[in-house]
Amino acid sequence: MATATENHGQEERDDAKSVYVSGGFLRNTSIIQSTSMSISFGFGTIPATSERSETKVLMPFVAFDVTGRRLTENSSEEDAVSLLSATLPLENAAYTIWDMAYELADAVKELSDFPQAAASVLDTRRIRATRDLLLGASQKLEQCFKDLERLEMIETVLAD
């Protein structure tokens, strides 16, 4: 059986869709339905210095795509369009994730600082879905960190 983090919290997200919001929020709200990153490589050159000669290197890049839709009363998942498509250096993709995590942490901190009376009316399904998605993300990031450490060890062995 798949857990919420294994299926990206689909069950919680489906359940949380049943909240209706009035006012101008819908005009400015988008739903990201999927993201994808795929690795590609290019060759680069590190210029020579007085200490070392020019070095050819393999540069990792990530093709980053975000698909989603504007949230309107009549929109459906079939209305999905590309919201962002970019090729990023690997470290810039990592920066993007770090920056998004930093911003999300600030937003959640602000939410948690709300007075207790206001917090008591929060949609707990959304809070649980958010927590489960973040747990899954932290597990994936931990694996990513371990893989990068392994690459650093390989680099050290090859340099010796």
Q: Residue 14, CB half-sphere, CA atoms under 13 Å: how many? A: 6
DSSP at 81:
E
Contact 8, 135 (CB under 8 A): no
Convert the pLDDT of each residue in 19-51 to its tens digit: 666 667 767 788 899 999 999 999 999 999 999
pLDDT in tens, 118-157: 767 888 898 999 999 999 999 999 999 999 999 988 866 6
> Could you tell me where the DSSP H helices lie in the chain?
10-16, 90-112, 116-119, 124-159
Amino acid at 40: S
| pTM of the predicted protein model | 0.75
Domain ranges of the chain: 10-159
